[in-house]
Amino acid sequence: MEDKITFNDKARYQLRRLYEVIRSYVIEKKNIDRKFHYMRVRSIDVLRGILTILVMMIISQGLEDSVSKNFIISEWDGVTLADVVLPFFILIMGASIPFYIKKYHENRNKISLIIKKSLIRALLLLLLGLIFSILFLESDKYVRITGPLQLLAINYIMSILAYMIFLKLRVKNNVITYVFAIIGVLIAMIFSIIFINGGREAATNIFVRTDISLIGEYKSLSLADPEGIMAIFSSISLGFLGISFGCILNKKHIDKKYVGYRRPMKIRNDGFSKENLLVDIKSWINYKSIKSLLSNYYRFNNEVKKVIHLLMFSLIYLVLFFVTKYWIPVNRNVFSISFVMIDCFYFSMMLVVAYVMCDIVKLRFGVNYLGNIGKNTILVIFIVQIVHKLLSMIKIKSIFTGTWLPFNNWFTTDFILPIFGIEFSSTVYSVFITVIWILLFNLLDRYDIKVNL
C-alpha cells in the first residue's frame, strides 16, 4: 500500500513539474510576443488565416465520394487547389523564420538557446503530426509515419539551421535574400532531375519506390505519398524560397546617395538631327547614366522597395515556370521545379496584395480576425477535424435513401443535394460549415486567444 502511495505521489510530482515547465514556457513566449509585437508582419498572419479557412473547407466535406477535384490532392501530375495549400504553408513558415530569429536575438538570447527552442518546436510539430496521422488521416487501422505536419517539422528545422549558419557567418540580409532564392531553385532542379530520370510514371518512379522500400505500409494509402520521404527533402526548396521572401520583408532602409548625371539633351536645345539623336541615345545608354538610373531605387520609400522586390521575384519565378514546364511536369507529389515556381509566383503576388493592404495601408476590417485564425492554425485545424470526426459518428436515417447515414452525408443528401445536385452539394456543405466555424472562431479575436508553437 505504501509503495502504491509513493508511486502516485511521484506521478503527481512529475505531472506537476511538467505542468509548471509548460506553463512557464507559455508565459515566457507570451511575454516575448507582447514585447516584440511590432515585429509581426500582419500580411503573413492574414495569408496563414486564409489558408487555414481553406483547410477547414477541405476537411468539412458533405459527401466523401463526390468531393470536387479542386479539394483533392492530385494523384500524380497536375495541380489542384488542395495541392497548393501545404506549399503555401511551407512558404509562410520560411518567411516567418527571419522575424522569429530577430525576435529572440533582440531579446538577447544566445544562438544555442534559439536553436534549442527551434528543435523543441520541430519535435512538438513532429509529434502532433504523428498524432494527427493516427487519429484522422485516411484510416484508423494503421499509423502513417509521413504527413503534412511531419513534412513541415523537418522542413522547418532544416531551413532554420541553414539560416542560422548564414547569420553566424555575418552575411547581410540582402545577400541572404538572393542566396536562399538561388539555393531553393537549385534544390528544386536537382530533385526534378532525379524525378524525370527515375521514371516519369508513378508506379516506377524513384520517389514512390523509396517510400515503399523504407516505410512500406506506413505511408499514404495512395500509390504516391504526397508527403513521402523524398518529397520531404524535395520540399525544402520551398522553405528556402520562403526565407528569401521573409528577408525581403525584413529589408532595412539603406542610405545611399543619388548618383547625379547630366545629359546634354541635344535635340531639345539644338533641334532634331541624326547627330543629335545619336548623342542623346548615347547619353542614356552608358555606364554613368545606368548607374544614375539605378541609384533612383534607393530614393524610394523602403516599403515601396519591398513591393518592387517582390514583384521582380514573382516575374522571375513566372519566367522559370514557363521555361521548365515543357520538360518537367507540374507535380505536387515530388515538388518538381515547375510546381515550385508556379507556387512561388502565386504566393508572391498574394503577398504583395496582402502586404500593401495590411502593412502599408493598414486595413483593419477583417485583418485582425484573419490574423488571429492564422496565429492559431494548428488549434483550429485540430478542433475542426475532431468535430468533423465526431459528427460523422452520428447516424441519422435519410428520408431519400432510407438508410442510416453519418451526419454530414445525411445533411447533404436530404437538404443540399436536391437543390444543388451531386456535383456541387459537397462543396456547398463545406462552405456552410466553414461559415459557421468562421463565426465561432470570432472568439479568438474577441478574447485575443493565441495557442501555437
Mean pLDDT, residues 226-239 taken together: 86
- Residue 424 pLDDT more than 50? yes
- Residue 97 pLDDT more than 70? yes
pLDDT at 235: 92
Mean pLDDT, residues 130-138 taken together: 70
- Residue 26 pLDDT more than 80? no
pLDDT at 421: 85
Mean pLDDT, residues 413-442 taken together: 88
Q: What residues does each domain of the chain span?
A: 1-35, 45-68+367-453, 73-252+302-362, 266-298
Q: What percent of the chain has pLDDT over 70?
A: 84
pLDDT at 382: 86
What average pLDDT is seen over the chain? 83
pLDDT at 2: 46
* pLDDT tens figures, 323-377: 998 888 898 888 999 999 999 999 999 999 999 998 888 888 778 888 888 888 8
Name beta bridge partners: 406: 395
- Residue 184 pLDDT more than 90? yes
pTM for the model stands at 0.84
Per-residue 3-state assignment (H helix, E strand, C coil) for the chain:
CHHHHHHHHHHHHHHHHHHHHHHHHHHHHHHHHHHCHHHCCHHHHHHHHHHHHHHHHHHCCCCHHHCCHHHCCCCCEECCCHHHHHHHHHHHHHHHHHHHHHHHHHCCCCHHHHHHHHHHHHHHHHHHHHHHHHHCCCCCCCCCCCCHHHHHHHHHHHHHHHHHHHHHCCCCHHHHHHHHHHHHHHHHHHHHHHHHHCCCCHHHCHHHHHHHHHHCCCCCCCCCCCCCHHHHHHCHHHHHHHHHHHHHHCCCCCCCCCCCCCCCCHHHHHCCCHHHHHHHHHHHCCHHHHHHHHHHHHHCCHHHHHHHHHHHHHHHHHHHHHHHCCCCCCECCCCCHHHHHHHHHHHHHHHHHHHHHHHHCCCCCCHHHHHHHHHCHHHHHHHHHHHHHHHHHCEEECCCCCCEEEHHHHHHHHHHHHHHHHHHHHHHHHHHHHHHHHHHCHHHHHCCCCCCC
- Residue 88 pLDDT more than 90? yes
pLDDT at 179: 95
pLDDT at 444: 67
Please report, as a single letter, which amino acid is at residue 101. Answer: I
Mean pLDDT, residues 79-108 taken together: 88
Of 123-137, 304-318, 439-453, highest mean pLDDT: 304-318
